[in-house]
A and B are shown apart, each in its own frame.
Chain A
Amino acid sequence: MTHDEPAGILADPGAILRAAGDALTKLDPRRMIRSPVMFTIEVGAALITGLAMARLAGQPGAEHPAFIAAVAVGLWATVLFANFAEAMAEGRGRAQADALRKTRSDTLAKRLTAPRREAATEAVSSTQLRAGDHVLIEAGDIVPGDGEVIDGVASVDESAITGESAPVIRESGGDRNTVTGGTRMLSDWLVIRITANPGESFLDRMISMVEGAKRQKTPNEIALDILLAGLTLVFLVVTATLLPFSMHAVASAGRGEPLGLAVLAALFVCLAPTTIGGLLPAIGIAGIDRMVRANVLATSGRAVEAAGDVDVLLLDKTGTITLGNRQAASFLPATGVTERELAEAAQLSSLADETPEGRSIVILAKERHGLRGRDVEALGATFIPFTAQTRTSGVDLDGRQIRKGARDTIQKAVVAAGGTMPAEVNRICDDVAKAGATPLVVIDGTRVLGVIELKDVVKGGIAERFKELRAMGIRTVMITGDNPLTAAAIAAEAGVDDFLAEATPEAKLAMIRRYQQEGHLVAMTGDGTNDAPALAQADVAVAMNSGTQAAKEAGNMVDLDSNPTKLLEIVAVGKQLLMTRGSLTTFSLANDVSKYFAIVPAAFGGIYPQLGALDIMRLHSPTTAVLAAVAFNALVIVGLVPMALKGVRYRPLPAAVLLRQNLLVWGLGGLLLPFPCIKLLDLLLAACGVP
């Protein structure tokens, strides 16, 4: 995945050129009508252009043709800059889409004639696969399309999609039964049933999303559009009525000229909320784009927006609140075995075990019993790694067969080898489990040595993160299959607001419904098929990419990294999207005040010279005043494009604080900034010899 910063594309001349070209094609009125604000400006621009041409062709009129032409240029510039902003945002999306397309390279697939490994295969292009086809994938193959595993267990490298290099296990049944097109098989084999037709796969949806091909306005966008259209209408009336008003004023003052169309059009473009109107589509596209950058695929812009509203997060304990892997906490030997003996056996079995659990066992043995790690090969030992089939790992050394694994697996192995599992060890396992930890049984041949207690470790910094969320008004709820006692202990340590212990899918669903009934918006992550009902009920439902097809279909977002902590980033992106819209709306409206100070004295000075007192910027001339205001209005759109693409700065703060800060920056800033800018442009125009 590309993670280039927005600044990168802004500095790319090629992208800018392409966007500039797109800005021109977007002038098509049929496309412009989507944005009522900019459409009215385009109509005004066409009108004033016509007027300028008529005047240049010799039609009589009061306003100077060059002035009319200059205003027309200003109007067109405003429209073009807005289109440019949208094109830039789309351009970024297109770059993303291209990167995604590369992973969707055409591969040869082994289509099976029947859903069995032994069935005959035929080589077909992956683009010819249809939903329902069965495909055999073997080590080294590229998965030809999205599918569901119906047979086999294998490890898959999904880094092409997720960026995560560690291989993942995929097997039939259970919650790890989906594969994504474009990923690579590392070991073993799988028979999969293709679940998506070409063009409908996950990647395809993602590509069309970032390209904005199926962009629909979100509810907030529609409401904001109504606000902006209303303001545009009232400003249209304000400027249109100024013509009769000025005619009346000319008659009663006995001097001056009624306002010309060019001045009225200039005033209108300055008052209409063009800044936000022009940047609105870009902000929306950029929001989805930021989501994609976070490796999250949202099914709609609406889902991204809803993410900003969420105020209850249901978080799975494992992987989100605690480290995904448990760590060894103690050695609990069986009768007749010393703790040191158990620790040594455990360490030996884990020396070559690179999993976090394995490493933690080595470290614990060293800490507790001073057992230094040894080189397995130097010992002449054979390491037996964990496989999906055996579900145990261990070491063969000097005829000893040391194994460690889950209780049931080990028990089977012991029984199969003719031994028995001591009742005492079973009791120890039960105690460990009751305390919320995981027991790992260690055996040497058929002799059961004891139990390693693996405990959950709360992630560093997670408590602080929850504190921030609380300040933002977001409740965190930990979901765990643990018993209430364990859950309570971890919940307290992590600082979540609430927890759901011994969570069943039904309990999850009920909890979501209860929160929604109380008026909360709930977000959750899930990966299993049994999560699907809860995912469907939640307002924002993030399915793990590693999860089942059912889970992915029930959710309205998919996290490609399958990282449960991602929910926090998703909320931030959603909020940032809304904040950017609100802030730029405020900025756009606050801007208008200064434009009155520039244009009103300039427009009415001929009728009532005393209105010159309102010209607090002391602008050069009525002509430069009007043109400076129009130029500022157009340029500010370009100036704010990076802001629209990047989004305003977001920090997790209470609403009252955020409002104060954003009002200060965008409200007050919007009020004051135009004054020096218009003055500067006025000086520039005067210096260029504009009369």
Chain B
Amino acid sequence: MMTGAWIEVAAILVATALAAIVIAPWLAAVFPMDDAPSGRPDGNRRLDRWLDAISGPVLRAAGVRRAEEMTAAEYGAAILLFHAAGFVFLLVLLRSQAVLPWNPDGLPAVPWLIAINTAASFVTNTNWQSYAGETTLSPWSQALGLTVQNFVSAASGLCVLAVLVRGLVRRDSPTVGSFWRDLARATLGFLLPLAILLGLLLASQGVVQSFATAIDVPLVDGDGVPAGEKATRRIVTGPVASQVAIKQLGTNGGGYFNANGAHPFENPTPLSNLLEIVAMLAIPVAGCLAFGRWVGDRRQGRALLAAMAVLFLPFLALIVHFETSPNPALPREVDQSASVDHEGGPLEGKEVRFGPAASALFAISTTATSCGAVNALHDSFSPLGGLVAMWMMQLGEVVFGGVGTGLAGLIAYTLVAVFVAGLMVGRSPEYLGKKIEAREMKMGMIVLLVPPIATLLGTASACVLPAEAAAAPNPGPHGFSELLYAFSSAGNNNGSAFGGLSATSPFWTLALAAAMLVSRLLTMLPLVAIGGSLAAKRTVAESPGTLPTHTPLFVLLVAGAVILVGALSFVPALALGPIAEALQPRPIAEGPS
């Protein structure tokens, strides 16, 4: 019944809020804003000592002096090198999979193109899957390659946020923190404990966690198997819970199995579904709350959270509406209405245990955050439901977005919005006491514009290559939607897909890899640069003449800026895809032959 579905959606959101409130002070403590560890006012000194105790030995082993502060240039270089090292390491790992241990199925080396695409995908926190997990990657590759990148790419995103916030908080400071210290604290002191907790909770629900085993099971209805087909099925397990936990928490999204979060071993029950949705949203939400603590004004964090919520909730209502409304293209004999004993809705590509509403919530959560895990097939969503999912990515992954990077991106939007709004009230624009000048504007515009440009240029290049455009199997405007979705996903480091697209050709693997790398690095590095240039500035005093940045009006302004850039960049493309599909005259359903 529909009310039941709405209550479920509301319950999951409440659980998310509670989780975020619990995590926020912890996250705030992970990244100290000041250089001096002592004298922090918020009473988190014990937490701070614990974080140092956990990360200290690792830093010493890596030969990093703990207190070594970096300039923005050094910090950016460290991020760049760490990404490069991760990329090379992952590439080597995937290429040499055949000779490495823990490969029970004897899988061969991952083909070059797939390996490049996968390495780019996981290093950039995108986790686009051009491979089918269970048939391409050994458990060794999954654990040592993908799980590691799930941790560190997410931690890098948090580090970028920390740099940006330090820029706002520090004054006259030449440095923005130490990347290695931030990375170690975020990975070991924050993501790892959360992943252990979530992984065990998921394991209790039936998410498998084992040294890979494969059991061949004879089918119960062995007689019904047509002649010539196998009468057994191979049940594959592996270290799934450990990877699913971090892929959800780190807004990575790369599943152990091809079906990702729709696979019963990745997401077996409605409760595991709740946990996975909460895991996607909780850290980005907590990031907003932590932001308020960092800048010493909780209202500022709540305002950014409100801006995200303003962009999220109406579209959540829309996608739940679209995905619980019957698909008019299906034959009349199909009952898609909801009742006590029948969930109904357009269930193609959805699981019964989740139902259409929770599937829609998962879909918007995974695209609004840059997670990209799926528990239903977005390709089979209604045209407008698919549009909502796609648009959430096209907004630049700032509605929650990736851990760290999402909020950082929204702050970049905020800087631009503050700039225009500041002018409108007759003051040289400033945000939290920092003047927004040409350099911040330049870097902010790069952050805002690289993802849409990468998305549009990528899609356009697929369109001019008819052989590549044919990778989209669905006819009509939906085929275009599949192309657009793929590049929206790669160009915004999301990773989800309109899964019908067979993106394994050299063009697709390389073009998507390029889109992922370009938009990841050309958003992270400018954000670090903004942090650096803001940190060096003095802080302007607040007065009634200062544009308040915590009011509902300002929240609407930021949300409006995000929508305006998103809409103006993508409305024509969306018109040729989902909008044309939604408006197209109803096809006459072919009757039973």
Interface residues in chain A, defined as those with a beta carbon under 8 Å from any beta carbon in chain B: 219-220, 222-224, 226-227, 229-230, 233-235, 237-238, 240-249, 251-253, 267, 271, 305-306, 308-309, 311, 470-475, 518-521, 574-579, 581-583, 585-586, 589-590, 592-593, 596, 600, 603-604, 607-608, 610-611, 613-614, 650, 654-656, 658-660, 662-663, 666-667
A residues near B544, Cβ cutoff 8 Å: 470-473, 654-655
**B448 contacts the other chain (CB 8 A):** yes
Would A237 and B445 be within 8 Å (CB), given that A245-B463, A655-B546 are in contact?
A: no
Nearest CB of B to A86, in Å: 19
Complexed CA–CA distance, A306 and B540 (Å) = 13
Which residue of A has the minimal Cβ distance to B466? A251
Which residue of B has the minimal Cβ distance to A225? B438
The answer to whether A246 touches B576, judged by C-beta atoms less than 8 angstroms apart, is yes
Complexed CA–CA distance, A309 and B538 (Å) = 15
Q: Which of B17-25, B90-98, B295-303, B579-587 contacts A (4 or more CB under 8 A)?
A: B579-587
Nearest CB of A to B523, in Å: 14
Complexed CA–CA distance, A222 and B416 (Å) = 14
Which residue of B has the minimal Cβ distance to A666? B424
The answer to whether A248 touches B573, judged by C-beta atoms less than 8 angstroms apart, is no
Which residue of A has the minimal Cβ distance to B456? A241
The answer to whether A252 touches B475, judged by C-beta atoms less than 8 angstroms apart, is yes
Query: B residues 400-426 with Cβ under 8 Å of A?
Result: 416, 419-426
The answer to whether A579 touches B426, judged by C-beta atoms less than 8 angstroms apart, is yes
Nearest CB of B to A464, in Å: 16
**B564 contacts the other chain (CB 8 A):** yes
A residues near B446, Cβ cutoff 8 Å: 230
The answer to whether A311 touches B545, judged by C-beta atoms less than 8 angstroms apart, is yes
The 16 sampled A-B contact pairs (Cβ below 8 Å) are A222-B438, A229-B445, A234-B452, A248-B463, A249-B480, A253-B476, A473-B546, A574-B426, A575-B426, A577-B426, A578-B427, A582-B424, A585-B423, A596-B572, A655-B427, A662-B424
Complexed CA–CA distance, A355 and B336 (Å) = 95
The answer to whether B419 touches A309, judged by C-beta atoms less than 8 angstroms apart, is no
A residues near B330, Cβ cutoff 8 Å: none
B residues near A521, Cβ cutoff 8 Å: 540
Which residue of B has the minimal Cβ distance to A660? B553
Which residue of A has the minimal Cβ distance to B539? A519
A residues near B479, Cβ cutoff 8 Å: 252
B residues near A222, Cβ cutoff 8 Å: 438
**B541 contacts the other chain (CB 8 A):** yes
Complexed CA–CA distance, A611 and B469 (Å) = 23
A residues near B475, Cβ cutoff 8 Å: 252
**B144 contacts the other chain (CB 8 A):** no
A residues near B437, Cβ cutoff 8 Å: 219, 223
Nearest CB of B to A521, in Å: 7
CB < 8 Å neighbour of A656 from B429, B538, B548, B583: B548
A residues near B464, Cβ cutoff 8 Å: 244, 247
A residues near B569, Cβ cutoff 8 Å: 234, 238
**B496 contacts the other chain (CB 8 A):** no
Would A245 and B576 be within 8 Å (CB), given that A611-B583, A655-B546 are in contact?
A: yes
The answer to whether A473 touches B543, judged by C-beta atoms less than 8 angstroms apart, is yes
CB < 8 Å neighbour of B425 from A227, A574, A655: A655
Contact with A along B544-576 (1 / 0, CB 8 A): 111110010110010010001101110111011
Nearest CB of B to A568, in Å: 14
Which residue of A has the minimal Cβ distance to B427? A309
CB < 8 Å neighbour of A581 from B423, B445, B576: B423
Nearest CB of B to A548, in Å: 30
The answer to whether A227 touches B416, judged by C-beta atoms less than 8 angstroms apart, is yes
The answer to whether B579 touches A611, judged by C-beta atoms less than 8 angstroms apart, is yes
A residues near B326, Cβ cutoff 8 Å: none
A residues near B539, Cβ cutoff 8 Å: 519
Which residue of B has the minimal Cβ distance to A475? B543
CB < 8 Å neighbour of B477 from A249, A308, A577: A249
Complexed CA–CA distance, A311 and B430 (Å) = 13
CB < 8 Å neighbour of B573 from A220, A224, A245, A650: A245
Would A237 and B457 be within 8 Å (CB), given that A222-B438, A223-B419, A473-B544 are in contact?
A: yes
CB < 8 Å neighbour of B424 from A233, A306, A583: A583
A residues near B421, Cβ cutoff 8 Å: 582, 659, 663
Would A230 and B546 be within 8 Å (CB), given that A245-B576, A600-B575 are in contact?
A: no
Which residue of A has the minimal Cβ distance to B554? A659
